Every structure is written in structure tokens, then in C-alpha cells.
Amino acid sequence: MVMAALTSVLNGRIGEPPRTSRRREILSALMLVLALVGVAVVVSRNWQAFVDSIHKIGIRGVALSLVLALVGVVGNYMQWR
């Protein structure tokens, strides 16, 4: 029987995800902050229309949308894990 030691391309153990560089983590965080600031600016400029839309949908509709969005995110996370 022949045994072979297998290593990944990054010389780590097989099955371990590659390490993310600190620079990439910082850039990702900055992009998230930039996106959130952009959403806040757009909503603040159209605040009355935003409030009117929430009133039309109702609190139950908003809560249901939030719950379904969270279920979708968790479901996708579990698929990619």
C-alpha cells in the first residue's frame, strides 16, 4: 500500500479555508460602512415617502419581511457552510 501526504496549494491542511489578509478584511468592513451610509443618505432624503410606505405595508408586513429575509440568509449560510 502506498501512502501519500497531501497538502493544499497554500501548504495548509486540506479542508481548512485560506486565511483572509488583514487588508482585505479592512476593505470589506469599509465597503460595508460605505453601503450603510449610502442607504442612510437615500432614506433620509426621502424620509416622508419611506414612512408612508411603512404605514401602507403595516408593522406586520415589515416584521414578516424581516423574518423571511433572516430565514433566507440563515438558509443560504447553512448551504455554504
Q: Is 7 a member of any domain? A: no
- The pLDDT tens digits for 9-26 are 555 566 666 777 889 999
Report how far residue 23's alpha carbon sits from residue 15's, in angstroms, rounded to the nearest whole number: 23
Q: Is 1 a member of any domain? A: no
Report how far residue 38's alpha carbon sits from residue 30's, in angstroms, rounded to the nearest whole number: 12
Q: Is 43 a member of any domain? A: yes
- pLDDT-wise least confident of 12-16, 39-43, 56-60, 72-76: 12-16
Please tell me whether residue 26 adopts helix, strand or coil conformation: helix
Report how far residue 13's alpha carbon sits from residue 19's, in angstroms, rounded to the nearest whole number: 12
Domain count, the chain: 1
Report how far residue 31's alpha carbon sits from residue 39's, in angstroms, rounded to the nearest whole number: 12
Q: Which residue range forms the structural domain that includes residue 26?
A: 22-80
Q: Is 17 a member of any domain? A: no
Residues of the chain with pLDDT > 70: what percent? 78
The pLDDT of residue 70? 96
- Phi-psi group of 58: left, alpha or beta (phi > 0 → left; psi -120 to 50 → alpha; rest → beta): left
The pLDDT of residue 47? 94
- The pLDDT tens digits for 28-46 are 999 999 999 999 999 999 9
Q: What is the DSSP letter of 11?
A: S
